[in-house]
Amino acid sequence: MSKALLADDENSVAPLATFDFAIAETLNAIGHPPQFLSGLEGYETYSRQEGVLPHATNLGYRHLPNLELLASDPPQHILISPPAHASLLPRLRKIADVMEYPLYKYADIEDGHNDWDTIEGLTRQLGDLVGHPDAAENYIQQSNEHFASLKRALNGIDSPVLLVRLMDERHARVYGAGSVEGMMLNRLGLQNAWQGI
């Protein structure tokens, strides 16, 4: 499948679109940023990096992407993380092949299945998709080394940690076990103070 993605230029890859920031970040980290991203401005705010994907076409709001713009120059694949955008699936499938990468397996949290293996699995799948599995493995190795270093540095913390993001003057987001941030705390050997999902 990954061979089919390669365009005429051996180093170029057929265009991809995504509505998910974790997928966009992973593609970018392995050297193949998506050509289309919904919520690009929100992603720049979220990541606190302006121009983080300078060549990506902004599809507008994350949960109300501009499908007409996407259809005007369709990508080869649209990558989503269900259950988000499930209501758009019939329309998305008319534009391009839709590939689903479930990152948030809420039902499995209590069984301990919603862990960092999910993220590494996504990275490997995306590396295969763009035809560069070595880049994915390299990124996984660098990430593992980085987290091992952080875990050693944070070894003395035994109090629970609460991760909060202030959204505006009236709203805050708290990250639980089902989030990537919650998985990150677990990876670092830290206890999440928020026990809800």
91-130 confidence digits (pLDDT tens): 999 999 999 998 765 545 454 445 678 889 999 999 999 9
From 81, 141, 90, 99, select the one nearest 2 (Cα to Cα): 99
Residue 142 has pLDDT above 50, yes or no: yes
* Cα dihedral 2, 8, 98, 18 sign: positive
CA distance readout (Å), 84 to 63, 80, 103, 122 = 8, 7, 11, 16
Please state which CATH number belongs to domain 2-153. Answer: 3.40.50.1980
From 154, 165, 164, select the one nearest 190 (Cα to Cα): 154
Rank 10-19, 40-49, 159-168 by mean pLDDT and report only the highest: 159-168
Cα angle: 140, vertex 41, 181; to 5 degrees: 40
CA distance readout (Å), 79 to 35, 98, 156, 161 = 12, 6, 39, 32
Residue 6 has pLDDT above 70, yes or no: no
More confident: 131 or 12: 131
Q: Say which residue the tokens 């993220």 belong to.
A: 119
| pLDDT tens figures, 36-59 | 999 888 777 777 777 778 888 999
| Residue 72 pLDDT | 95
